[in-house]
Amino acid sequence: MDKPTNLAFSDEATFNFLQGVVLFPILAIISLFVVVLVTTDATLAELGLSFFAMGGVPVIIVGIFGSVALGHRISEIRAINRMFAGEIWECWQFSSSEWSEKVEGVCNLINPKVEGLEAYMAVINSSIFGAVVAIIMDIIVFFVVKDPVVKKGLWITSGIVFLFFVGAGLFEPMVEKIKANRYRRKALKFPEPRVWFGPNDVYHEALGHTSLKELHKVTDQTRSRKAIQFTVVVSSDSYDDLAKLRFPVPSGSEDRAASLVLRYRHERLQSRSY
């Protein structure tokens, strides 16, 4: 099987890796600084000098979290290797122009460009809610509070509350825009990606590895969205959730996609019920 030489990792494995290598070690070191600073009489400069003079402490912290992160990365590499060592049911190839068009379509869904005010409904709703809260506070202050100094302070507070809700609403489209740009950068690293389908796994040359071990349903969307969709069960400590994973179908592969869906239903889902 023509296995790719440069592996693309899933968003989950990449996130776990960045957490372990960057985020968690920094938070752990900062937390240790704060705890020691609060519980002792040492100044920040003295604490910093003594901490880094020890040398091994930050190295140990980074090593612990980095090892856990590396474990996630190695686990996904092994899963990909097992997939290519086993049976591959299908392999699709996208052309450069078609893949670019599909990536832009996904980005438009993540970060709507042509919906006008619809894309900013969170800002509008949050601003309205903040304005209502601020007006209620102003009315209460106007009729109840008599001290002019206190009244002025509360009016300033109501303005801050309004601005807070406006900012909270603006945060959502900003996050969606960041997600869309991150997806675009990752997806377009491979101009003509391939995607492989195995009994328990899918590997996309641009988007990484997806496990289908907890496959719940597979849906043929070739007529409506030119895609097939896997629904997998994502288990946590408290509950099980259903995640929908959509894979676009290259032009001319619609019949192969329909056959692939039937095969998953017959060999993976129906056989499980017996």
State the sign of the Cα–Cα–Cα–Cα dihedral 123, 125, 130, 131. Answer: positive
The yes-or-no verdict on residue 108 having pLDDT over 80 is no
**Mean pLDDT throughout 104-116?**
66
- From residue 226, alpha-carbon distances to 98, 105, 114, 184, 209 in Å are 12, 12, 21, 19, 21
Gap between the Cα atoms of 75 and 108, Å rounded: 33
Amino acid found at 122: A
pLDDT of residue 199: 92
- 198 and 148 both lie in a single domain: no
Q: Assess if residue 79 is contained within a domain.
A: yes
What pLDDT, on a 0 to 100 scale, did the predictor assign at position 96? 93
Is the residue at 74 inside a domain? yes
> In this structure, is residue 221 part of a structural domain?
yes
Q: How far from 225 is each of 67, 102, 141, 221, 231, CA to CA, in Å?
A: 41, 11, 55, 5, 16
Query: What is the distance between the alpha carbons of residues 183 and 14, in angstroms, rounded to a whole number?
Result: 13
Residue 105 lies in a domain: no
φ/ψ region of 76 (left if φ > 0, alpha if ψ in -120 to 50, else beta) reads alpha
pLDDT tens digit sequence for 37-64 = 667 666 666 666 666 655 566 667 677 7
On whether both 4 and 28 belong to a single domain, the answer is yes
Asked whether residue 99 is domain-assigned, the answer is no
Domain boundary among 64, 86, 108: 86
Which residues, including other chains, have CB under 8 Å from residue 148's CB and lie 6 or more apart? none
Based on the fold, state whether residues 179 and 231 are members of the same structural domain.
no
Query: Do both 177 and 202 map to the same domain?
Result: no
Q: Which pLDDT belongs to residue 142?
A: 84
Phi-psi region of 209 (alpha: psi -120 to 50; beta: other; left: phi over 0): beta
Torsion of CA 160, 163, 164, 166, to 10 degrees: 160
Asked if 145 and 175 sit in the same domain, the reply is yes
* Residue at 254 is within a domain: yes
CA dist 196 and 176 (Å) reads: 29
pLDDT in the model for residue 190: 87
Please tell me whether residues 204 and 160 are part of one structural domain.
no
Domain CATH for 251: 2.30.29.30
Rounded to whole angstroms, the Cα distance separating 213 from 268 reads 9
List, edge to edge, every strand of the sheet that includes 227-235: 215-221, 227-235, 240-248
Number of C-beta neighbours around residue 249 at 10 A: 23
68 and 1 within one domain: yes
**pTM for the full predicted model:** 0.67
Res 114: pLDDT: 45
Q: Which among 187, 219, 238 is the end of a domain?
A: 187
On whether residue 22 sits in a domain, the answer given is yes
Same domain, 123 and 52: no
pLDDT given at position 58: 64
Q: How many structural domains compose the chain?
A: 3
* Beta-strand pair 208-211/201-204: antiparallel
Higher pLDDT, 240 or 221: 221
Identify the domain containing residue 173 by its residue range. 116-187
pLDDT at 150 over 70: yes
Is residue 1 over pLDDT 70?
no
Hunting for tokens 């980074």 — which residue is that? 62
Boundary residue ending a domain (135, 165, 187): 187
